[in-house]
Amino acid sequence: MTRINELPVTEEMNLVTAVTHTLRQEMQRDPSVRVMGYDIGPIGGVFRATEGLFDEFGPDRVIDTPLSENGLLGVAVGMAIRGERPVIEMQFLGFMYNAWGQFIYNLANLHQKTGGAMKVPVTIRATFGGGIKPLPFHSESTEAYLMHTPGVRVVCPSTPAQTKGLLAAAIRSDDPVIFLEHTKMYRAFREPVPVADYTLPLDKCRVVQEGSDLTLIAWGNMLHYAIAAAADVAAKGNASIEIIDMCSLAPLDVAPVLASVKKTGRCVIVHEARRTAGPGAEISALINEYALEYLKAPVKRVTAFDVFFPENQIEDAYLPSSQRIKAGIDAVLSYQF
């Protein structure tokens, strides 16, 4: 596995510039890589993630498409079967439901039913998550729908350096990959990202911080809220918290989670997806199934609520905050059977 901090030359990037940098590098490396989507050409996409690529690679490899998610994904599946490696920009995860037929019947099913013999190397980039107060259907966090679909990988980076390694690996993978980019994180912070070519494993979670009293699991933007809550708890000397970035959502990398829970005996799972049948429910079930005897308290979920994403005025109350996460941590730490 590539160790990012051992690669010498770095450049300060935020998450969206890391996406642009990686797309450019992969297109230079492999002529079969093409990017497609609505307004991704001269305009550079709704978040400017493809800015400059049209001028560099031309209209045959940076393809503006009509606003038709179903058509976009159907064309990408056909191109992939013929040997191309299309990377499509779905703009927002909430728009992907329009392409659900192509997603289920063709993208996931063709690859799964042939046992991987039919390669469908499509990468779907989709923004997700709340926090920027946009229009309706622009803040969906429905990764559980994707995780429930056999035959596709679902990954979700939480840092610019991780974005580069995971996106490069997704594009090179022969499996269909859904690459979730959190909108609030696009320009939230910068960090040094190695300029050299590298990939990260698509099926591994990441232990961000080791600890001994409680396992805290999150991904995407919620990871940063979880880190802030854990730091607050640690500053008061209340507990040593192990933090896991569940950047691989399908397949779930459950072994490190179980190992951590067997060590700490406590677990809190954080996500901004809806609570019922959300990703946290599956992770909690796996812990109960394989590590029940190690638990010192019930597994707790800190999530969004079981309603559609609300209007801007109450968005902050809908999303889990560091305060809500901290309350969940305190409840688990103080629990007694």
The per-residue pLDDT for range 29-86, each reduced to its tens digit, is 999 999 999 999 999 999 999 999 999 999 999 999 999 999 999 999 999 999 999 9
Mapped onto helix, strand or coil, the DSSP state of residue 252 is coil
* pLDDT band at residue 90 under the 50/70/90 scheme: very high
Quick check: 3 pLDDT over 70?
A: no
H or E segment and range at residue 179: strand 177-182
* pLDDT band at residue 145 under the 50/70/90 scheme: very high
**For the domain bounded by 4-194, which CATH number is listed?**
3.40.50.970
Residues of the chain with CATH 3.40.50.970: 4-194
Its pTM stands at: 0.94
In single-letter form, the type of residue at position 279 comes to P
Mapped onto helix, strand or coil, the DSSP state of residue 148 is coil
Q: How far apart are CA 115 and CA 242, in angstroms?
A: 37
Q: How far apart are CA 274 and CA 271, in angstroms?
A: 8
H or E segment and range at residue 261: helix 254-264
Quick check: 7 pLDDT over 90?
A: no
The DSSP line for 193-253 is: EE-S-----TT--EEEE--SSEEEEE-THHHHHHHHHHHHHHHTT---EEEEE--EEETT-
Quick check: 5 pLDDT over 70?
A: no
Percent helix / strand / coil, the chain, rounded to 5: 40, 20, 40
Closest CA to 256 of 268, 272, 264, 244: 244
pLDDT of residue 6: 65
Quick check: 8 pLDDT over 90?
A: no
Q: How far apart are CA 124 and CA 177, in angstroms?
A: 6
Supply the DSSP symbol for 103: I
Asked if 236 contacts 37 with a C-beta cutoff of 8 angstroms, the reply is no
The encoded tokens of residue 28 equal 């230079």
Pick the CATH number of 206-334 from 3.30.428.10, 3.40.50.920, 3.20.20.70, 2.40.30.10: 3.40.50.920
Q: Who's near 196: CB < 8 A, 6+ residues apart?
A: 7, 8, 9
Q: Torsion angle of alpha carbons 125, 129, 131, 134, nearest 10°?
A: 70
Q: What is the mean pLDDT of residues 247-258?
A: 97
The encoded tokens of residue 31 equal 């002529």
pLDDT tens digit sequence for 284-318: 999 999 999 999 999 999 999 999 998 888 899 99
Q: What is the mean pLDDT of residues 152-156?
A: 96
Residues of the chain with CATH 3.40.50.920: 206-334
Closest CA to 87 of 100, 99, 102, 75: 75
Asked if 136 contacts 125 with a C-beta cutoff of 8 angstroms, the reply is no
Q: What is the mean pLDDT of residues 112-131?
A: 89
* pLDDT band at residue 9 under the 50/70/90 scheme: confident
Q: Is 138 a catalytic residue?
A: yes
The catalytic position among 111, 138, 182, 271 is: 138
Across the strands, what pairs with 180? 126
* pLDDT band at residue 4 under the 50/70/90 scheme: low
Closest CA to 256 of 208, 198, 328: 208
Quick check: 91 pLDDT over 80?
A: yes
Mapped onto helix, strand or coil, the DSSP state of residue 181 is strand
Asked if 241 contacts 230 with a C-beta cutoff of 8 angstroms, the reply is yes
Supply the DSSP symbol for 43: T
**To 10 degrees, what angle do helices 221-235 and 322-333 make?**
50
Q: How far apart are CA 327 and CA 331, in angstroms?
A: 6
